[in-house]
Structure 1
Amino acid sequence: MAYLKASADAVVPIWWTAFCQLLPKGGLTVFAWLLCCLPALALEMRIAIQEGASQVVVGTSNTGTIRNQQGQHIAQVPEGRSLTVAAQGAQVKAADSVGSSFWVEPGANGYVFIGDRWYRGRVLVMSNGSGVTAINYVDLEQYLYSVVGSEMPASWPLEALKAQAVAARSFALHRRNQSRSPYYDVGSTTAYQVYGGLADETQSTQAAVEGTRSQVLTYGGQVIEAVFHSSSGGHTENVEDIWSQPLPYLRGVQDFDAGAPVFEWVRTFSSDEFSRLMPDVGRLISALPQRTTPQGRVREILVEGDRGARTFTGNDFRNALGLRSTLFSISVAGGQVQVRGRGFGHGIGMSQWGAHNMAQQGYTYQQILGHYYQGAQLALIEAH
């Protein structure tokens, strides 16, 4: 089974020295190493790469195998050759065989091709009733090699990359336990966490994952939902001020993201451009926030134009205009609409630019995580 145990660092004879090395600078939360049991956790992730497509192109880097849902050998996949799996009614067709699903597995030390990218592991192609879905089955740690590089520049300080690795591992396992789909755990886009396959792996992302292997963040004995974002614009948010229920480990804290390229930003729209983006409103007359968070993020905004007035959620307004965050002010002058804002993303949990700056200042990944996930504990998960 899988369980959490204390890190070896916490039980060495010089435990006090090790503890003191983790003491935070400037009042950061001190991490404790947790000793407790959790339900068994599979260490293989299921990631939906494509969903509901009319067809999916797959292949293998060496001689691979196609198996049906019963595991029976159907055909070989020649090295470097692609195979198109197409929807056929409520089933899929691969290599002249029709069924509800097929496995495509590379040979030893090989990789699998899905769509336009290479991935570790194997792929299950299946019908979802309306098209073809391709699901990458891959070892959790190998999955993270790519996620860390997809979510954070590989050139960033190693301690920041390590913080990203632990957050991403925790997020993945939390989502796996909460998945609403019986077929996959997470997707590969920003709706979950970005997973770009082999192209986003580097030696530094692999080092960050291996340097934190099996480490997760927990609260109350459970792996936490370790959400993260690019930059908060100065201060992160309490989760309930943005989404729904409060969580004790997702509290607003001072960010370290000053100086980030997305810390402050300006977007300017012509009246015609704004009207095209918001056709129900037309040319903007005024935009007045109706509700904001304690940090100033727009929860609800009343927008009045020459075609009428509408109330939008902050997120809907942000998405309509393609803004970086909901932390903004808006003005109209000289036939132009100017939006001034700060930060990039939802502003909850770890700020990636904050992690970058903290690492540059000498903070460890434990201290970075302790700052952004208040009261969480770092634990080691092992499979037996």
Structure 2
Amino acid sequence: MTQPQPKRSKWLKWVVAFSIVCSPVLPGPVPAAKASVATTDTIRVALYIESPKYKLSVPAVTVTTDGGLSIGFRQAAGPTIVPDGAPSALRASLDQYGVLLMETDQYTAAKAYYDKLVKAGYSSTLFAAAKQGKEVYQVGIGGYADAALAAAARDKVKADSSLAASASAQSLTGPLRWSAGTYSTEAEASARVTELQQAGLPAVLAYHEDGAGNPAFSAWIGQEADQTGMAAIQAQALQVMPQLALVQVDTSQPYAVKRDDRTQGMGETLPHLQFNAGSKLWISSSQQSRIKVTEKDNRSYRGSLELSQYGGKLAVVNELPLEHYLYSVVSTEMGQGWPMEALKAQAVTARSYALEKGMKYEIAHVTDSTIDQAYNGVEFDDVIEAVNATAGEVMVMGKGIFSPLFYSNGGGITAESEEVWGNPAPNYASVNSPDSIAEKGKLTWYFVWLPNGKTGYIRSDLLKDTGSKNAAGMSYYEPTENGVNVRSFPDTNRASAVDKVNQGDRIVVLDEVIESNAYSWIRGTYTSAEMTGIMNKQLAEPLAGPVRSLEVSKRGPSGRALEIKANGQAVRVQYPDAIRTLMGGLPSTLFEIEETGRYTILGANDVSRTYPESALSLYAVQGGSPSAVLPNEFLVLNGAGDVRLATKDQKFIFRGKGNGHGLGMSQWGARGLAEQGYDYKKILEHYYKGVTITKD
């Protein structure tokens, strides 16, 4: 998609009233009575925030809209700056400390160095600036919360010969500046900036308020990190323009300086606002259209954005009406085309969750991630209908709003609280859940044995039966096309390819399974070394040796794993659901472990050997005598005639059901119940105990 280009003319003016959006109604303590359940007209969603509870940061944010952007300083009350001509796109970042690494009149060189810094992992900037009538390009890194961090970054660049060789400058930059004049109009300030730039001074246009709270536009000089730099730029300015009256800028007051961002291309300029830690930059659409955030995969959001400094980094908060927020949450969590009663159940659940949390992140109620509720700006008409139909409805327990837990799929049965967090909770009980609908329409996959002795999974529609069989009576299949991927488990999107096969290859099918989905899934196969590495990344005390055996040693009422033993020893986790992370991010704890290296061989005189405990080698026997040492992967036949894969080296396969922690409402289960005729209240009563649904 071609990004709309900003207008290059004057684009800021003042308005005097913004009281409605500047005074959001925030939830207070949860009252006792039904009629006074805590409510809020608006909700604040953190898209980026650096907090103790959630960390996701970005150095700058790029926003666009079809209707034009309004930008201003957000105060508790009073005026705000909005654009004249409403630019359709802009970038914004904090005015912090950084390092200027290159200044050149060659854009190609500047862009190449900028790209090199980004590839090396630095937050880089590329600005265009005027100097004595000539355009120059400045490449730097930042922003850093203080000068010490910027200096450390500079030293790191110096130590990297490939980066240091291209740097024509290595000076620290910062938010300290001199004011060379304040004006009541932007035009006057812009003319002063041009005059200073013609004299060779680093001048920028600044937006701020004067002492009376009125709009002010200034020409500022410098971008210094300390008072030594301030003295140097002052001396330079007075040398070329002795008549200047310079006043040091008070950086504690809200301001924004305008830069010309050239990161997109030679002829593509974005206005880039750098604002200070004392500012709250407010961005809205001048025509109430959605605001697109480039860094969020170009997602578009209702409402407005508030940009500020929090935890030393840029915080981006989307503020919008609560019910509009739910349009996207329910659309993201469930999707289009689900039964109306399931959508209503999700709407009440999501509303209850959001309201109960209060200001969880101090400057925001929730984040946009699944740590709270998934929110990506997408909306569907049927979801909007479901949200509107339940407007204001929440679940209440006792004197306050109930904070419900929910997840994708229960695997046929929900969890007890002890199976998830290790402690009881009276509102949750293990109940049957009709979740298997998630398998509907999924492809069949074949678990196959390849001519080279490897195993893996191939989609059934990519293989055909040849009609011939091997000596064991097993049918040979062959690919329907060349270059067919053989995957580690039956999932095109998540599983890596372990091999490829072509037409004419003779393949043995060992098993048929349904493609991994929210209801049933397979993960693996993991070698002993891989499993050891996966587990040791999570354990405070790493395993003493390689994983030779792995088993579920305790299960809860729903069958979920409560304890795992590795090499016969229980592995300590903080709470049972952490087993999912311990095992490499399994969808749920409702699983079985298959050890391909574990089997018992019955020999002559009823003497048996169990592997992997036995160290004796295995041989293929033909005509009564051993002919060869068995390969690492081979097939074994039990007394019932069933064939399965076995390996000399221990490997592990996880076969499970469900997706999520399993506590509370299963989203797929809610769909199943709705299709059975349950209304949304009955669905909620099925999954949550001792709660009532009320409307303020």
How would you bin the TM-score normalised by the shorter chain?
0.7 to 0.9
Give the aligned CA root-mean-square deviation in angstroms.
2.9
Looking at structure 2, the residues matched to 175 and 192 of structure 1 have their Cα atoms a distance apart, in angstroms, of 9
3-state SS of the aligned residue for 1:78? Answer: coil
Structure 1 window deviating more from structure 2 (346-355 vs 63-72): it is: 63-72
Q: TM-score, normalised by structure 2?
A: 0.46
Looking at structure 2, the residues matched to 351 and 47 of structure 1 have their Cα atoms a distance apart, in angstroms, of 24
Alpha-carbon distance, 1:182 to partner: 1.6
Q: 8 Å contact 2:37–2:401 — kept in the other structure?
A: no
Read off the aligned partner of 1:239 and give its amino acid letter. S
Q: TM-score, normalised by structure 1?
A: 0.81
> 2:181 aligns to what?
none
Structure 1 window deviating more from structure 2 (153-162 vs 99-108): it is: 99-108
> 1:189 aligns to what?
369
> 2:133 aligns to what?
none
Looking at structure 2, the residues matched to 74 and 303 of structure 1 have their Cα atoms a distance apart, in angstroms, of 62
Alpha-carbon distance, 1:330 to partner: 1.1
Q: 8 Å contact 1:55–1:85 — kept in the other structure?
A: yes
* Superposition pairs of residues 138-177 of structure 1, within 5 angstroms: 138-176=320-358
> 1:256 aligns to what?
434
> 1:38 aligns to what?
36
Looking at structure 2, the residues matched to 286 and 119 of structure 1 have their Cα atoms a distance apart, in angstroms, of 49
3-state SS of the aligned residue for 1:252? Answer: coil
1:105 aligns with 2:367: no
Looking at structure 1, the residues matched to 257 and 418 of structure 2 have their Cα atoms a distance apart, in angstroms, of 47
Structure 2 counterpart of 1:208, from 380, 386, 391: 386
> 2:62 aligns to what?
57
The structure having more radius of gyration, on CA atoms, is 2
Q: Specify which structure has the bigger relative contact order, considering alpha-carbon pairs within 8 angstroms and separated by 6 or more residues.
A: 1
Identical residues among aligned pairs (%): 32
* Superposition pairs of residues 282-321 of structure 1, within 5 angstroms: 283-304=546-567, 310-312=571-573, 314-320=576-582, 321=584
3-state SS of the aligned residue for 1:170? Answer: helix
> 2:411 aligns to what?
233
> 1:29 aligns to what?
none
Structure 1 window deviating more from structure 2 (62-71 vs 91-100): it is: 91-100
Looking at structure 2, the residues matched to 110 and 190 of structure 1 have their Cα atoms a distance apart, in angstroms, of 26
Looking at structure 2, the residues matched to 41 and 154 of structure 1 have their Cα atoms a distance apart, in angstroms, of 27
> 1:73 aligns to what?
80
Alpha-carbon distance, 1:47 to partner: 0.5
Read off the aligned partner of 2:309 and give its amino acid letter. S
Q: 8 Å contact 2:60–2:91 — kept in the other structure?
A: no
Label 1:296 to 1:94 Cα distance change in 2 as closer, same or farther (>3 A): farther
Label 1:227 to 1:132 Cα distance change in 2 as closer, same or farther (>3 A): same
Looking at structure 2, the residues matched to 221 and 309 of structure 1 have their Cα atoms a distance apart, in angstroms, of 41
The total of aligned residue pairs comes to 345
> 2:476 aligns to what?
none
What are the ranges of 5 or more consecutive residues in structure 2 without an aligned counterpart? Answer: 1-24, 50-56, 98-144, 146-174, 176-254, 259-272, 440-517, 537-541, 597-646
Alpha-carbon distance, 1:171 to partner: 0.9
Looking at structure 1, the residues matched to 680 and 327 of structure 2 have their Cα atoms a distance apart, in angstroms, of 17
3-state SS of the aligned residue for 1:110? Answer: coil
3-state SS of the aligned residue for 2:549? Answer: strand
Alpha-carbon distance, 1:226 to partner: 1.4
Label 1:244 to 1:87 Cα distance change in 2 as closer, same or farther (>3 A): farther
> 1:16 aligns to what?
none
> 1:268 aligns to what?
524
> 1:325 aligns to what?
588
Q: 8 Å contact 1:2–1:38 — kept in the other structure?
A: no
Q: 8 Å contact 2:94–2:309 — kept in the other structure?
A: no
Looking at structure 2, the residues matched to 140 and 161 of structure 1 have their Cα atoms a distance apart, in angstroms, of 16
Read off the aligned partner of 1:346 and give its amino acid letter. H
Read off the aligned partner of 2:654 and give its amino acid letter. V
